[in-house]
Structure 1
Amino acid sequence: MTMPPAGRRDRKKAATRQAIADAALHLFLEHGYDQVSIRDIADAADVSTATVFKHFSGKEALVFDQDEDREAQLTAAVRQRPSGQSILDALRQHVQDTWPSIEAHPQAAEFTNLVNSTPVLRAYAERMWTRYTDSLSAAIADEFGVDHDNLTCVALARFVLEIPMLARGRQDRRTAVDAIFDILTHGWKPPSKPPAQ
């Protein structure tokens, strides 16, 4: 898990970074991704364009400003789990601890629509997703001392990363997440028909 910046300088850098990301998202949601320039974002955040590029590699990275933190937290869930906790239990806890707050964010639907309706952002999200899969499967593989391209580790990483999307829209998302992790933990069982009335 990432720790909050300790020193004054680090806190100031983090605040500037957040202000830039917030300004960018506001402008993207209001005007559309393609209609907003880096200059527009810099002006809205009251910084120079050089400062924007000091904090972000490009325009797409402004949309996914927490990308690196989320990837680090995902692998930390495996690598830094308590002794005796299984990988699946650690990942279940991580998803339950992080995903509901993301989904409950008041701008979640607008953000999803922005990404889905903008080809360059969809492509960026897919590359990010692939990187998450690689990082998580490598962390899992390391725990078992197998190669990073081990198919079972890659498959597990991919399945875990799909869980939030599979549970999205369900009335009780937490229960849906648990149900999917139960399948991964205990194996799939055919659903039973509801009793006839």
Structure 2
Amino acid sequence: MPQTTGRRERKKAATRQALSEAALRLFLERGFDQVTVAQVAAAADTAVTTLFAHFPGGKEALILGDGAERAARLTAAVRERGPGVSILDALQAFLTTRGPFDPARSPEFRRSTDLVMRTPALRAYARTLWTGNEAVLAGVIAEEASRPADDLSVRVLARYVLEVPDLAALEPDPRDALKTAFDHLRRGWPGF
């Protein structure tokens, strides 16, 4: 039986959406560094405490979230890959749907991605969100490859995979750079 969202959950989601939309609009109009959380909260008609209740990571999280979604999607990309699909192929395919690698980005998502790429604080936060998933990704790779959880090779692979978005996104052709990075990873970790 489908589960319906309650009024409270819908209201929370609407508040999160209003805060995210107000933040993006203000950041694009004025620049990330020229906007305060108080201005974002006011533009969304909420209190600053409400903003931090929904986005404890502060201004950066208004655009990039908290990383929980990334961890879940990374794990799913590896665990739910099709028969005969390698772990690295699955991770590369997953990354091609993210940020500057996604060829089907909407104009709004493109503006958001461009804002992240040209704002040092947002780029640093995005990198932190990716690399913060190292233990989760190493764990699922080890599990799927039947390797010990503390296998250094698996931990190194996870670290390198999670550095790729930051490195490849800065290249003139991010999708090509992503492909090149994964080609190198495949040579270093055959069988993954």
> TM-score scaled to structure 1, two decimals?
0.71
Q: Secondary structure at the match of 1:106?
A: helix
Q: Distance in 2 between matches of 1:157 and 1:63?
A: 25
Correspondence for 1:53? 52
1:111 counterpart = 2:116 = yes
* 1:181 shift after superposition: 1.9
Q: Distance in 1 between matches of 2:178 and 2:140?
A: 21
Which deviates the most, 86-95 or 49-58?
49-58
The residue correspondences of 1:1-197 to structure 2 (distance < 5 A) are: 7=5, 9=7, 10-59=9-58, 60-65=60-65, 67-99=67-99, 100-101=101-102, 104=105, 105-114=110-119, 116=120, 118=121, 124-143=125-144, 144-148=146-150, 150-164=151-165, 165-166=167-168, 168-171=170-173, 173-187=174-188
Aligned length: 178
Contact 2:19 2:51 in 1 (8 A): yes
The alpha-carbon distance between structure 1 residues 140 and 128, as it changes in their structure 2 partners (threshold 3 A), is same
Higher radius of gyration, 1 or 2: 1
Q: What amino acid sits opposite 1:131 in the alignment?
A: G
Write the deviation string for residues 119-170 of structure 1: whole angstroms up to 9, x where unpaired. xx5664454343122321222123224124x221122122222333325433
Q: RMSD in angstroms over aligned alpha carbons?
A: 3.1
Q: Distance in 1 between matches of 2:35 and 2:23?
A: 8
Q: What amino acid sits opposite 1:101 in the alignment?
A: D
Correspondence for 1:194? none
